């Protein structure tokens, strides 16, 4: 199963909104005779590749798979058919698939046909692997990555708003890698005004993330890179119903303007996420600035953190720190990341961790 999990990981960024799945086939004597993984959205499932590789040697053997085999006609035929045709006598799955058209149906179908089925081997690891898929299915909202680069004195820009560049080339390359595997990159209006970012992945990858701007006021610049390229790479602007008409020009240039109900703190991050989830976006990346990151942290809406710390000082009371918003009053209420690891990234330090809530719900 550990090997099947490692195979599944190879599909990260290519299979979503499907889950990552890996499979191995053992012959009747326990020799590994086939392996496979779900390689891209709409393509064959892991079991199909593994069983194809095993051929006749699967007869009487075992299929080990990281997720319950599907039993419905989706973009491909049911995997349970392939398992039954193979003559395998046993299936070991890491976890049941909560996808409503499966949800235990695959296990039942196989058992009814006389196949011995065991579920729950390495389940924690399998749930962690597919935490974004499980979150989207369970809550209708995508998995939220929060990212920023800061100086050693905790600033994301100088007092004049200049932020190019805080981190080094290796760190920026890592951010582009992340952009290549998410469905959307989000920024607040302040970042559009200060940085005029393009927010694309360079070089481009398998997946093209939509560029998303959150602005309650709707006061976006008339000229900027996002608007100028909205027909090439999708741009979505979330604003209030009252201010949506200010964005007629953006709409005419190809951006999608989505009005959402306003609250006293602007738009609710969860309302933005619900709309992104309805598009079946599985992973989204919030890149700043301080206002938007603060709103997401106040709403406890972050799952995974990517922080780049550069060995530089810019100083200045007016220079921004990464997270604005309301914040907490007491240290005991501080959000403490779980499973935090740090590594060198060129001359910077890269810190990666999870919101404790995200870790608990994934296990």
Ligand X SMILES: NC(=O)c1ccc[n+]([C@@H]2O[C@H](COP(=O)([O-])OP(=O)(O)OC[C@H]3O[C@@H](n4cnc5c(N)ncnc54)[C@H](OP(=O)(O)O)[C@@H]3O)[C@@H](O)[C@H]2O)c1
Active-site residues, by number, are 47
Is residue 324 within 8 A of residue 146, CB to CB? The reply is no
Q: What is the CA radius of gyration of the chain?
A: 23
| In the chain, beta strands by DSSP E | 22-26, 32-37, 62-65, 90-93, 116-119, 143-151, 184-188, 210-214, 235-240, 256-260, 262-263, 266-267, 283-286, 304-310, 338-345, 348-354
Name which of 69 and 266 has its Cβ closer to ligand X. Answer: 266
Name which of 78 and 288 has its Cβ closer to ligand X. Answer: 288
Q: Residue 350 CB, nearest distance to ligand X (Å)?
A: 13
Q: Residue 74 CB, nearest distance to ligand X (Å)?
A: 36
Name which of 125 and 256 has its Cβ closer to ligand X. Answer: 256
Q: Which residues bind ligand X (CB under 6 A)?
A: 148-149, 156-157, 161, 163, 166, 187-191, 194-195, 214-217, 219, 265-267, 269, 287-292, 295, 320, 324
DSSP characters for 48-102?
HHHHHHHGGGGTT-EEEESSPPP-S-SSS--HHHHHHHHT--EEEESS---STTT
Name which of 198 and 359 has its Cβ closer to ligand X. Answer: 198
Q: Residue 53 CB, nearest distance to ligand X (Å)?
A: 44
Is residue 192 within 8 A of residue 224, CB to CB? The reply is yes
Say how far apart CA 23 and CA 16 lie, in whole Å: 18
Q: Residue 269 CB, nearest distance to ligand X (Å)?
A: 6
């Amino acid at each position: 199963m550990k090997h099947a999990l490692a195979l599944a990981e190879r599909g990260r960024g290519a299979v979503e909104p499907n889950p990552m799945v890996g499979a191995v086939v053992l012959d009747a004597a326990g020799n590994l005779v086939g392996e496979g993984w779900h390689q891209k959205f709409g393509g064959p499932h892991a079991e199909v590749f593994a069983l194809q590789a095993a051929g006749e040697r699967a007869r009487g053997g075992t299929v080990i798979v990281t997720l319950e085999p599907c039993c419905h006609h989706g973009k491909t035929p049911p995997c349970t058919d392939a398992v039954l045709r193979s003559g395998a006598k046993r299936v070991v799955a890491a976890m049941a698939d909560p996808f409503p058209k499966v949800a235990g149906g695959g296990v039942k179908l196989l058992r009814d046909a006389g196949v011995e089925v065991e579920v729950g081997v390495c389940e924690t690891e399998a749930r962690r692997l597919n935490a974004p898929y499980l979150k989207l299915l369970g809550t209708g909202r995508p998995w939220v990555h929060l990212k920023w680069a800061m100086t050693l004195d905790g600033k994301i820009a100088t007092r004049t708003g200049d932020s190019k560049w805080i981190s080094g080339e290796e760190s920026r390359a890592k951010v582009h890698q992340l952009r290549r595997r998410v469905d959307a990159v989000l920024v607040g209006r302040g970042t559009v005004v200060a940085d005029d970012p393009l927010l694309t992945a360079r070089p481009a990858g398998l997946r093209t993330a939509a560029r998303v701007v959150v602005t309650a006021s709707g006061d976006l610049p008339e000229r900027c890179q996002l608007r100028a390229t909205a027909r090439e790479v999708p741009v979505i602007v979330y604003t209030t119903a009252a201010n949506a008409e200010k964005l007629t020009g953006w709409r005419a240039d190809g951006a999608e303007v989505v009005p959402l109900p306003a609250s006293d703190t602007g738009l609710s991050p969860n309302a933005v996420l619900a709309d992104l989830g309805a598009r079946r976006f599985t992973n989204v990346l919030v890149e700043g600035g301080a206002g938007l990151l603060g709103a997401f942290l106040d709403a406890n809406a972050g799952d995974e953190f990517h922080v780049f710390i550069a060995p530089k000082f810019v100083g200045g009371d007016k220079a921004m720190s990464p997270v604005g918003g309301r914040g907490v009053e007491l240290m005991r209420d501080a959000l403490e990341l779980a499973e935090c690891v740090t590594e060198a990234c060129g001359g910077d330090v890269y810190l990666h961790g999870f919101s404790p809530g995200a870790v608990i719900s994934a296990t």
